[in-house]
Each structure stands twice: as structure tokens, then as C-alpha cells.
Structure 1
Amino acid sequence: MSSDAAEVISIGQYIVRRLEEQGVQSIFGVPGSFLAQFCDDVESSNIKWVGECNELNAAYAADGYARYRRGLGVVATTVGVGELSAINGIAGSFAEELPVLHIVGQQKTADQEAGLNVIHTLGDGRYSALPYTCSQLLLSKVDIALGNADARIDKVIVDCISKSRPAYIALPWDLVDVEITTKRLTTKLTARDIPIDPDAEQAAIDHIYRRFDDAFSGELDNNVVVIADVSVSRHHCKDEAADFLAATNLPVYGTPLGKTVVNETSERYGGVYIGKLSSAEVKQKVETAKLVLFLGPLTTDFNSGNFSTNVKQERSIKLHFDHTDVGFATYSHTGMKVLLPKLAERLQVFKDKASQLDVPKFENKKVKDTDALIKHSWLWWRLAAWFEEKDLIVTEAGTVSYGVVDLALPKDSSLLAQKLWASIGWSMGGTHGATRARRELEGDGTQTILFIGDGSLQMTVQEISSMIRSDIKPIIFVLVNGGYTIERLQHSVDAEYHNIVTWHYGDLLKVLSRDQVPTQTYRVTKESELGNLLDVEKIRDKGIMQLVEIVVGRDDAPPALLRALGLDQPKGGEKGSNKVALRARHGWIGW
């Protein structure tokens, strides 16, 4: 097609073509009468419609899809009841900087113009809900009459992928099949580049070089360290960060949200820095360094040990996706993705000195299987020995997210968790979407492993059905203790409102699957039972969906969570007993 060729195409088909162009192969959603024509356009395309049991799960799945593929995810719902059911998931994607496009099938334009109280409205003339999005379009006949419907659709998609935030298109059902004439499909939509000022960039590089030169003058002892954080991944800079670390050989540390951003098995990786909750050696190395280089920092309560990080601004350099901070100086229009390769070239002269800096040994503790009841202090180290390279590991926002903090995860593994918005139940849909994205990108060669607490599972358990429908085969580990552990440990450990009904979780895969779909479930209470399951039965080799109930004590928790709550040391009485502390505790920590 020549660059000036025009094409006649319906509105619905135009949107689908743009989504195909972005590499979208799956759309998650729940159909509705106002969405049906658009669903027809999806089904006649190369994109798969992934039907969900409810809109919230669909939004979570689109989030996981966008999160893993680091590109556009799409959820489609009907107006009102559908979009509001999805809105919690969309809000999470906004908080965690993920490009999710929400397509909403609306009432026909005539009913909207007349303000009629038709189905799925509030009865007050309003026909949409628009919070938690960076860009919106409520498509109208005026857009079509003016000939700019295609341009307005394109703008929303470009905003979504450029800002890495959710966006919204409301699509009246009577406009889906309306044809437009457009030339715009001859040009692929791409994210807007971060505006770079070459002079500011060069000034930032020169300033950083001088700071490195000063830091490396004199004795070689803890001169410079790097902290790699989650925005490295969110803004597609993992390769640039790896190349930078290879060029400089600097000591590098991670954060809870930044786990698996860099290779945690490298000899130059020293562990996780979480402020006062860090190991003594990591805390000393980071907080006494002459200079700390942050890559993609994101300060949240969970990521900073409840804001207890102790690196003074004058000793820090922070590379962000759109600016750079060197001490108290800020260089606008300098982006981390473009800056890192240039910085690697300039700073590689310090590689020999950096190579002589000591790095704490970061490795997993070895544990043995006994006939003792399973406790978190044993559980996560045992699982760490079982993980393999390229595993996709998903953790729920509650207790289990703390279980992996202390672990050295395998090279090329991926850890996904929603820890800023922290909506419990997210991980079920997130696992579905992320695994579909991985299969589209890489095939079915690696394992997906989900860890979720029983309280979180009960929020979104229907997603098991959707995963089976998609032929997704994760291993689901359910931590069973009858309630909300973090809430118990924060306040009123014995309160009834923290408890839930304990289901027969082993029956779920039968109830939520179709006939003839092979599944398998297990229930373990002792260390030896789980060890046998991991090593002897080799559950990762079965190639079917499996669910493992791991029964733990009601008040038991991972060591990292106990540290965060100040419960890692007994408050009197018998060693290891936290009962008094639990009943007295009124602290707070984010989910």
C-alpha cells in the first residue's frame, strides 16, 4: 500500500488493526450486549478473545499480560456494571505504571443524547466512568463527521504506551460498524520518545564522572555501589542495566520490588537493601558507601523498609526514565534508557578499581527436610533450592510476597508482584495474563509458579476456570491458615474478623474445570511431605495444572514480614514466642 493510499474500514476493525500492530494477541474481557459487535471484530482477527468469569479478573489478567510483555494489554467490558467491576484492576495498573487499554462498549448514541435511563446507567444521565486513566476517548458521531475518529483513537493508544498508564476508549455499539476512510494505517503507532536534551545529557554524564572520580580517589573501600530498582524493568532498561554493570563491574544490590531486575546469582550482587530491615552487612555496605547510584528507584513503604532507607542526597545519583538527579542537581530531559549506554562507556575506566570492591555473598540457606510441621522460616529456603532458571514466579500481595524477599532467585527468572496498589487476589488474574504473554513470546518451555494465601485466593478463585480454558498450567501453592495473616500480626491477632472459612481447596480444580482436563492436587503439612513432592514426585515435570495446599500455623509468617513488623525478636518469655508481642502490636505495614 502506498503512503498516500486510503482505506475504507469500520471503527471496530480499525481499533483491532491498531491492537494487532502493537503485538496484542489476547484481549481479556466479559462480553455484554453493548460490546458484542466489537467482540465480532476481535474474533474475525488474529487476536484471541479470552473470556473471563468477571471483569475484575479480566483487568487483573490484562495487567499481568502488560506487565510480562512490557507492552500493551487490553481489557474489554460493557459500560457501567462491567467497567466499574474492572476499575480496581485498572487503578492498580495506573499505580504500577502499566499500559492497559480499557475498551468499553456503550449504549447507542441516540440513547445517550436523549439522556435515557437505559440499562447499566445510574439513572442520572451519566454514561461513563473515567478515573485512573491517562487518556480518554468517548467516541461520538461528531468525531466521525469531522473525519478525526482515527486520529483520536490513535492518540489514546499512543498516550497509553508512551506514559505506561491505563487509557480508555468508550465505543457506542451503533458506531462500531460505521465505516471511515483513513490513510493512518500506513504508519505504525510508536511510543513517543522521552525528549532528550543533548546538552543536559552531556552535563549529567560529566557531573557523574566527576563524582565517580572523587569517590574512587584514595583507598579502595566501599567507594561506589549500585541499587537496581523496579523502574528499570517498567521502562524496558534491563538490557541497558546489565550492559552497564558488565562494563563497570560495580557492586550491585536490589530492592524488594526490584527483585530479578538484575542477575541475583552474580558474584557482584550483594542482596536486597530495605533500609533498617536489610541484613547488617548489606545495610553497612550501602549506608557507608561514598557514592550510591540508583537505577530506576521507586520509593514505597514496602520497598524502603517503611521509609527507613538511609542514603543522604549528597551521596546519591538517581537515574529515572525521564530525568537524572546528581546530588542536589537535577538534569531534565535525560532518560535512563538512552543515558545508561553512554554512561557505561564513560565510566568503564573505573572497572579495575570497582572489581576490587568487596561484595557480600548472597546465597540461599540450605535446609533439610524433617517430619516437623511446615514453618515459613523453613519453607522459603526449601522452595529456593527448587526454583530453576527462567521460572516465572508470581506472588500475591499478602504474606507470601515477603517470603521471596530474602531469596536469591535464579538467573533469567521473573518475579511478578503487585506491591504498591496491593489488591489481594490480583495474582490469580496476573498469573493468567502473564503466562499467556510468555507463551506468545517464548512458547511453553518454562514453568509458571504462583504463591497465594487462602484469603487472597477466595477473592478471585474463579480465575482457575479461565486459566484452564486458556490451557494455562501453573503450579499454584496455596498457603492455608484460615485468614489474613498480615492483618492478624498488625492488630488484634485473635480477632474473629481476620478469619475466613477454610475450603476444601483440593477439590477446586475439579469444580472449576471442564471434563477430561487433567489436574492434580496435594495437601502437605510436614517438611518431608513437601520435600518429597518437590524432589521425588517432581511436580514441575507433569505438564498439567496443579494445586498444592501448604498448611502453616495461624500466626506464622516469613522472616522478612516479622522483621518489618518488629516481631523478629521475642518480647519476653520463651525464646521464639511472639504471642505477647502479637497481642500488643498496633503497628502498620503496607500490603
Structure 2
Amino acid sequence: MAEITVGKYLFERLRQVNCNTIFGLPGDFNLSLLDKIYEVEGMRWAGNANELNAAYAADGYARIKGMACLITTFGVGELSALNGIAGSYAEHVGVLHVVGCPSTSSQAKQLLLHHTLGNGDFTVFHRMSANISETTAMVTDLAAAPSEIDRCIRTTYITQRTVYLGLPANIVDLMVPAKLLDTPIDLSLKPNDADAEKEVVDTVLELISEAKTPIILADACASRHNVKPELKDLINATQFPSFVTPMGKGAIDEQHPRFGGVYVGTLSDPEVKDVVENADLILSVGALLSDFNTGSFSYSYKTKNVVEFHSDHIKIRNASFPGVQMKFALQKLLSQIKPVVANYKPLPVPARKPANAEVADSTILKQEWLWNELGNFLQEGDVVLTETGTSAFGINQAHFPTDAYGISQVLWGSIGFSVGCCLGAAFAAEEISKTKRVILFVGDGSLQLTVQEISTMIRWGLTPYLFVLNNDGYTIEKLIHGPTAQYNNIQPWKHQKILETFGSTDGQSIEVRTTGEWKKLAACPNFNKNDKIRLIEVFLPEMDAPSNLVAQAKLTEAINAKQ
């Protein structure tokens, strides 16, 4: 075939980068584009319940697969997705947002079309998205269409940020040379400037050689920007005590003997806080230092010897090295580090917290017990999602097995995110392995924002575990402000009817109220098989919360009240 349509070219390119599920909703300006999905073998259209959920789902898929594609229609569709897109941009998640636009002739004539503002301005929504996109493109020139598509895909993948691609309805049916597909998109990083990289590595090696109590601290971008292999090698080569932030859960193998726990400033376990804050050198990999990720900015390092490795720059103490990428800098550092750490005497890491004390099986479930117990249920390779709220804080207490991956939108913190994200993660996990489990923890309040996406899970036969924490409303908000305020309450739902309502014929709905019921369920071999969708309603006291959330809520309320 000498020529293919622009639409088919887009989906062939996405298939080449292993982006096989497309999220979004149909609209009259993107229908012709959606037709082309079915022309490319191995591609599927998820078909979401609304655009916001679709954006959340694309985020979850991208965190597992490396990038995702979301397709919406002009105006009404794209604007509905922007909250999710902003979250992906903020948290370094590569989502390509493709918007089906009115034809080039309609735009040129400034026709008073539906989905416009009625003023003839067809660029306004593109301009809105430009503020939360790494780059944008509006394809109006057929000759440039393939190169613009390639540029947008490459930028999404390389920068792990959102990218906006506008495709007018008439353009997607026009023909371009098929042979262009024979040359893969170059997804490699450009090498660092040799001199700047050498200065970084030499300086870091010197700091390491002088350090007596160094530590490694991994954050979200270690996972997003694919330096987990280098991070693992760095821990093995140095044997430095190693920690993660809440957003960094999963960046380090928590079964590694040098893993010391989760550091959240003043909210950390005292032993963790002591080791991290008394270190004389901190190698920080992929930091995203938001308030909830740092215990409201309560990091209290005693040293100024902090090296920050980022995707597009390195910072050493007060010196910044723009353009020096951590991937290559870490690789070069690793090639020279062994003789420098040869005489290092490994310091002890904080001991793992003891298991829950034995309690009667009839004991009512509480958050502190639940999160300390969760590690016994988790399996190697699990994807664990936690909603903004009690679960996002409680998960810090759970000890992950090897190769478990944590997803929690700690920075953007959009309530309801996790349900849509769970859908995308479940699609991605299924494409990797049919046995890979996806486990969601969401509060009863957050669930009400995005519950429709459970319907999409059922439609596709996906098999996530949906743990709904029923604590009668927005507990995190009640802890911050208004514990008895009506605005923090919700209408109670019959959660046990949700799977049936959305059409599931083989899903499993379960209630758990006591420690004994939890332990029995978690130990059940059939329950642990990843063979059906399950909704587990976990009943918890209304104002019960993980201890670190109670402390964080007080900090947040104090900051919000400052003049």
C-alpha cells in the first residue's frame, strides 16, 4: 500500500510505541478519525463514560506503559478532559491529547458552528491547553502531518508530559506516504553535554568520597523517567540507606535489605526521620516536592550537601546544571563509583515496623491496623492505586513486595482520579500479563465522582480489586475543616449493588467489617486469583484515619489559615 490516511498513520505510530488502547469519547468532529482505529491490528478503543474519566484512565495507562493517547472532540469534549490533563502534566505523565476539530474550510470561514463560543475563534481551546502541554500542534498542512504526529508522540514519550494534537475532520482522511512508517520514531534521549556531565559526576563523586552518613531518597520522577534500573544499581553499588517519598512508592524494591522506609518530613516514623535528616549527603532522585509529599514542606535536612537528579537538570547544593539529564548522569556515575565507595561501612537502616498485635477476630476494622496488614495481601508485581484521602496516606505504612507499583496523585490531588486511573492501569496490566493484579483503594466519597468507569471495566472484562472504604463521607476534608459540616457529607450508596447495576454477571461483591473477616478474605486462594472484577466494601469508623493523615490535616489547616 503506497499511501494511507493521516488517521491510520497516527494509530500505526501509536502501535509502534506500544500504545495499544485509546481512551476518550466519540463526537462528530472525531468520528472519522475513530474509524481508523479499527484498521490497525492490535489497537482498541476503550470508550469511556465521560471525558474527565477518560483523561484519568489515560493517565493510569501511561504510568504503566510509558505513554497513552486520549481522543476528544472539539470544545465540549476537550474542555471536559482538562482537569485530568492538568494532573498528568503536573505529575510528569505522558498523555497525548488528540482533539478532533472542525474542518479547515469551516475554520477559515469562521462559521458559527456548534461547540464553539459563537465568535468565530477556533483557536481559543488550543490556547487554553497550551498552558498545560509540553508542546502543541494544529495540523492544517497535509505535507507536515506525519512529521507533526511523530514530533508530538516523541515529545510525549521523552518528556513524560502532556501534548496537544489538533486534527481537523477533513485532514484525517487525506493520504500520506505509507513508507514513512518504515522509519521508527526516534525515542532516544539526546546525550548530555560532555563537559557539564563530567563536572556533575566529578562533583558528586567527591561529595560521596567525603560522606560518612549518605542516603538515597527516591521520588516520583524516578519511575516516570525510567531510571529505576539505575537507581537499583546505585543502591547495590553504594549500599547507602535508601528511602522513598509517598509519590515515590514503588521506585525502590521495598524488600531490598537497604530499603529504610518512607520519608515525609515531620510525618515520618521517628527512626526514618532521624536517619534522613542527619545524613551528611542526600542523593535525591526524581524529586517532586509538593506539600503532601513532604509533610507540608517539613523536610529538615541538617546538611546542605544535597544532589538533586532530575529528568532535565541536576542541582548540586546551590549550583544548577540545566540540560544534564539524570539517566545518563547516573549511568556515568555508576561506571566510576565502585572505588569511591570501597571503604564505606554500611550503616544500619531503620527496622521494618512490627506486625500488628494479635486482636480478636471480632475487632472492628480501623485504618491503622488495615494499612499495617495490607502488605500480607499484596503480591509481587501488583499495581496499587490509592485515592486522594485516607488511603493515599495509609498506603505509606504498607510494605510493598518486589516489583509492586504504587499510583497516588499526591501532587495534583483530584478527588475521584483513582477510579478512572484504575481503568487505564487495568488495561495496561492486561496487555502486560493476564495475571498482573490491579488493586484500588478509594473512599466512598471519592467513588461518587467517577463511579461510571466501573461500567467500562465490566464492558471489557477487566478484573481489578475495588476496595471501597466506607467511612461515611469525606473524612480527609472533615479532618482538615468542618468535621460536622453538611458539605462534607454524602448520600449513602448501596455499594454491593454497583457491579450488578453496571451489568456484571460474574463479579464478586463482598463486605468486610472486622479484622477476622479481612484476614480470612486476604488468605483465601480463590480471592487471590485475578479472574474477575471484585468490589470489597470495607467498613471503617467515620473519623478514623491513619495517624500521619491526622497530623497532615492539622498542618494543612494551619497553612490554609495563614494570612
Which one is further off, 89-98 or 520-529? Answer: 520-529
Deviation track 1:458-490 (CA, whole Å, cap 9, x = no partner) reads 000011110111211111100112211111111
Q: Establish whether residue 480 from structure 1 lines up as the match of residue 470 from structure 2.
A: yes
The structure with more radius of gyration: 1
Q: Is the 8 A contact 1:64 1:430 kept in 2?
A: yes
Which one is further off, 537-546 or 376-385? Answer: 537-546
The residue number in structure 2 matching 1:557 is 545
Counterpart of 1:366 (choices 339, 356, 377) is: 356
The residue number in structure 2 matching 1:320 is 310
Letter in 2 for 1:230: A
Q: Is the 8 A contact 2:240 2:346 kept in 1?
A: no
In the alignment, the residues of structure 2 paired with residue 191 and residue 460 of structure 1 have an alpha-carbon distance, to the nearest angstrom, of 34
**Secondary structure, counterpart of 1:304 in structure 2:** coil
The residue number in structure 2 matching 1:27 is 22
In the alignment, the residues of structure 2 paired with residue 331 and residue 174 of structure 1 have an alpha-carbon distance, to the nearest angstrom, of 45
Q: Establish whether residue 16 from structure 1 lines up as the match of residue 11 from structure 2.
A: yes
Deviation track 1:534-575 (CA, whole Å, cap 9, x = no partner) reads 2247522262111111111111111220122349xxxxxxxx
Provide the TM-score with structure 1 as the length reference.
Answer: 0.90
In the alignment, the residues of structure 1 paired with residue 530 and residue 9 of structure 2 have an alpha-carbon distance, to the nearest angstrom, of 42
**Closer, same or farther: CA 587–338 of 1 in aligned 2, 3 Å:** closer
Q: Is the 8 A contact 2:208 2:341 kept in 1?
A: no
Cα shift at 1:315: 1.8
Q: Establish whether residue 379 from structure 1 lines up as the match of residue 374 from structure 2.
A: no
Q: Is the 8 A contact 1:7 1:183 kept in 2?
A: yes
In the alignment, the residues of structure 1 paired with residue 340 and residue 351 of structure 2 have an alpha-carbon distance, to the nearest angstrom, of 22
Q: Is the 8 A contact 2:290 2:296 kept in 1?
A: yes
**Closer, same or farther: CA 369–35 of 1 in aligned 2, 3 Å:** farther
Cα shift at 1:149: 2.3
Q: Establish whether residue 174 from structure 1 lines up as the match of residue 170 from structure 2.
A: yes
In the alignment, the residues of structure 2 paired with residue 538 and residue 382 of structure 1 have an alpha-carbon distance, to the nearest angstrom, of 19
In the alignment, the residues of structure 2 paired with residue 588 and residue 384 of structure 1 have an alpha-carbon distance, to the nearest angstrom, of 34
Deviation track 1:145-200 (CA, whole Å, cap 9, x = no partner) reads xx222222222222222222111122221222111346532321123524411111
Cα shift at 1:372: 2.0
In the alignment, the residues of structure 2 paired with residue 26 and residue 542 of structure 1 have an alpha-carbon distance, to the nearest angstrom, of 21
The residue number in structure 2 matching 1:530 is 518
In the alignment, the residues of structure 1 paired with residue 499 and residue 521 of structure 2 have an alpha-carbon distance, to the nearest angstrom, of 18
**Secondary structure, counterpart of 1:307 in structure 2:** coil
Deviation track 1:380-434 (CA, whole Å, cap 9, x = no partner) reads 1122222122111111112210011122211111111111111111111111111
The residue number in structure 2 matching 1:219 is none
**Closer, same or farther: CA 239–552 of 1 in aligned 2, 3 Å:** same
In the alignment, the residues of structure 2 paired with residue 278 and residue 490 of structure 1 have an alpha-carbon distance, to the nearest angstrom, of 19
Q: Is the 8 A contact 1:102 1:169 kept in 2?
A: yes
Q: Is the 8 A contact 1:58 1:86 kept in 2?
A: yes
Q: Is the 8 A contact 2:98 2:164 kept in 1?
A: yes
Q: Establish whether residue 106 from structure 1 lines up as the match of residue 94 from structure 2.
A: no
In the alignment, the residues of structure 1 paired with residue 12 and residue 112 of structure 2 have an alpha-carbon distance, to the nearest angstrom, of 33
Letter in 2 for 1:467: M
Q: Establish whether residue 95 from structure 1 lines up as the match of residue 94 from structure 2.
A: no
The residue number in structure 2 matching 1:575 is none
Written as runs of structure 1 = structure 2, the 5 A alignment for 1:30-109 is 30-46=25-41, 47-69=43-65, 71-109=66-104
**Secondary structure, counterpart of 2:284 in structure 1:** strand
In the alignment, the residues of structure 1 paired with residue 389 and residue 325 of structure 2 have an alpha-carbon distance, to the nearest angstrom, of 33
Cα shift at 1:587: 5.6
In the alignment, the residues of structure 2 paired with residue 8 and residue 110 of structure 1 have an alpha-carbon distance, to the nearest angstrom, of 24
In the alignment, the residues of structure 2 paired with residue 408 and residue 355 of structure 1 have an alpha-carbon distance, to the nearest angstrom, of 26
Letter in 1 for 2:269: S
Counterpart of 1:121 (choices 116, 121, 141) is: 116
The residue number in structure 2 matching 1:416 is 407
Counterpart of 1:435 (choices 426, 430, 437) is: 426
Q: Is the 8 A contact 1:8 1:182 kept in 2?
A: yes
Q: Number of residue pairs matched?
A: 554
Letter in 2 for 1:544: K
**Secondary structure, counterpart of 2:467 in structure 1:** strand
In the alignment, the residues of structure 1 paired with residue 101 and residue 517 of structure 2 have an alpha-carbon distance, to the nearest angstrom, of 53
Deviation track 1:70-90 (CA, whole Å, cap 9, x = no partner) reads x22001111111111111111
Written as runs of structure 1 = structure 2, the 5 A alignment for 1:392-411 is 392-411=383-402
The residue number in structure 2 matching 1:249 is 239
Q: Is the 8 A contact 2:246 2:410 kept in 1?
A: no
Q: What's the C-alpha RMSD, in Å, of the aligned pairs?
A: 2.1
Which one is further off, 279-288 or 447-456? Answer: 279-288
**Closer, same or farther: CA 312–382 of 1 in aligned 2, 3 Å:** closer
Letter in 2 for 1:135: T
Q: Is the 8 A contact 1:80 1:127 kept in 2?
A: no
The residue number in structure 2 matching 1:388 is 379
**Closer, same or farther: CA 490–123 of 1 in aligned 2, 3 Å:** same
**Closer, same or farther: CA 588–272 of 1 in aligned 2, 3 Å:** farther
Cα shift at 1:312: 5.3
Q: Is the 8 A contact 2:237 2:338 kept in 1?
A: yes
The gaps in structure 2 that reach 5 residues or longer are none
In the alignment, the residues of structure 1 paired with residue 525 and residue 337 of structure 2 have an alpha-carbon distance, to the nearest angstrom, of 50
Q: Is the 8 A contact 2:92 2:161 kept in 1?
A: yes
